Structure 1
């Protein structure tokens, strides 16, 4: 057995036992334990970790621990580019795309509303989410710690909030999404990018009041739904504007 000293930073402490939060603590490790093994054994999914410093040097998840090692573990950095130090995964994701598990349908809907490519199917099993996330470079959103600990999941985010609106604010804050938001550019049902369509092409299918009041329309080429800036759109617009103002302020 070897003994190493650990210190976790910021929101990673939420995954630790209370007596280990926001302080250094020593822990006995198996002789061939890696940084990844011990980080997850202590309760922190590897997908939540962006940087591991071993005795002050950036290392990967497969580094073996030795007696007396000091391990500092950091979450994702929103305001600082640590690409030169990145060792825990092959690369950072340059395109922000998500896949949400079965319990986060409301969050998936709201992320689509803000323009983010978000896959969701309440029939997805954990192994399917793992496979799709790896193949398509997607960030896994879940409240299931075991899903985030799967070897094939390299980018993930544990969602703490319970209500979808609070979940959206949490993900926006943690992943600094405001700059990439493109509200109302994606179908809320199909996740397909929307395109503008001339009113004359859809006019015959519109309710009479909509024909009279609205001139701008968009459509989804997958489900063929037609969208306009009605009262529901206005309520969503207000929600998005408040969210972006909070993120930028």
Structure 2
């Protein structure tokens, strides 16, 4: 016999629901006594996006087993709603390190440009992303909801925009990155560290206009690529509101 519970998702969690089900109560039919985490993800919302769950007005965790006619409220990570105790306990993020799926190459370059340890390959597989997230405490950024629904993924985010610069703004806001930005400390191509290098040592790699207009350079300790603070850097500063 089918049983029902009733879910209401708040804020940006509605981004994961069909438009006809968003911003309203959703009936969830079930048999047995499924965990509330499974129900939330079956309705389309990945658990990493959830901050707080209330059942019949009381906070609960992901292991709670749904009962008939439960009234469930689910709140996103970014919310003005506060509680004294939240049963959902997440493993703390030990470092702001990221791993991205194969569709987010431009976002990966932007994050590296701001100095964040960002793993990305255009041939990386889903299971490798999950493994790296688990073993190296990395935050998963992906537009593949199946990855974010894996139990091993404890921290992640689904960029709403498809524009890389707007995606970057989303990530900076979500993970409060502004105070952690260290521009031009990592290579945009390989994620290696950048080190100061004397102009004389890399002159042969520079175009004539670059040689004549710039004197300070950085070089990747991995792939050897050379960087300088040109127009790309200036556009980034302007977008982030830096002097």
Give the TM bin, normalised by the shorter chain.
0.7 to 0.9
Aligned partners of 1:47, 1:189: CA distance in 2, in Å?
Answer: 28
CA distance in 2, matches of 1:120, 1:219: 20
Q: CA RMSD in A?
A: 2.5
Give 1:140's aligned residue.
Answer: 140
- 1:197 — aligned with what? 197
Shift in CA distance, 192/81, structure 1 to aligned 2, threshold 3 Å: farther
Q: Which moved more, 1:23-32 or 1:179-188?
A: 23-32
Q: Which residue of 2 aligns with 1:235?
A: 232
- Shift, 1:186, TM fit: 1.2
Give the match for residue 41 of structure 2.
40
- d(CA) in 1 for partners of 2:24, 2:133: 33
Rounded Cα–Cα distance in structure 2 between residues aligned with 1:134 and 1:192: 21
| Cα drift, residue 141 of structure 1 | 1.2
Normalized against structure 1, the TM-score is what?
Answer: 0.85
Contact 1:114 1:240 in 2 (8 A): no
Deviation digits for residues 186-228 of structure 1, max 9, x if unmatched? Answer: 1101112322233344446545544443221111111112212
Compute the TM-score of the two structures, normalised by the length of structure 2. 0.87
Change (3 A) 1:108 1:85: farther
C-alpha contact (below 8 Å) 1:183/1:240 kept by paired residues:
no
Q: What is the SS of the residue equivalent to 2:8?
A: strand
Deviations 1:9-54 (A, max 9, x none): 1110011132321123332233221111100111111121122222
After superposition, the Cα gap between the structure-2 partners of 1:119 and 1:89, relative to the gap in structure 1 and judged at 3 Å, is: farther
Q: Distance between the aligned counterparts of 1:26 and 1:61, measured in 2?
A: 19
1:78 and 1:175 in contact (8 A); partners too: no
State which drifts further: 163-172 or 138-147.
Answer: 163-172
Task: Report the alpha carbon displacement of residue 99 of structure 1 after superposing the two structures with TM.
Answer: 0.8
Q: Name the CA shift for 1:184/1:81 in 2 (closer, same or farther; >3 Å).
A: farther
Listed one character per residue, the Cα deviations across residues 133-166 of structure 1 (whole Å, up to 9, x for unaligned) are 1111111111111121122212111122222223
Question: Cα distance 1:58–1:80, how it changes in 2: closer, same or farther (>3 A)?
Answer: closer
Per-residue CA deviation, residues 69-114 of structure 1 (Å, 9 max, x unaligned), is 22211111378887x7454343232422211111111111111112
Q: Contact (CA 8 Å) 1:78, 1:174: kept in 2 or not? A: no
Q: C-alpha distance in 1, partners of 2:205/2:17?
A: 56
Q: 1:62 — aligned with what? A: 63
Q: Which residue of 2 aligns with 1:25?
A: 26
Structure 1 stretches of 5 or more lacking a match? none
Report the Cα distance in structure 2 between the residues aligned to 1:245 and 1:28, rounded to whole angstroms.
48
1:123 is aligned to 123
Unaligned stretches of 5+ residues in structure 2: none
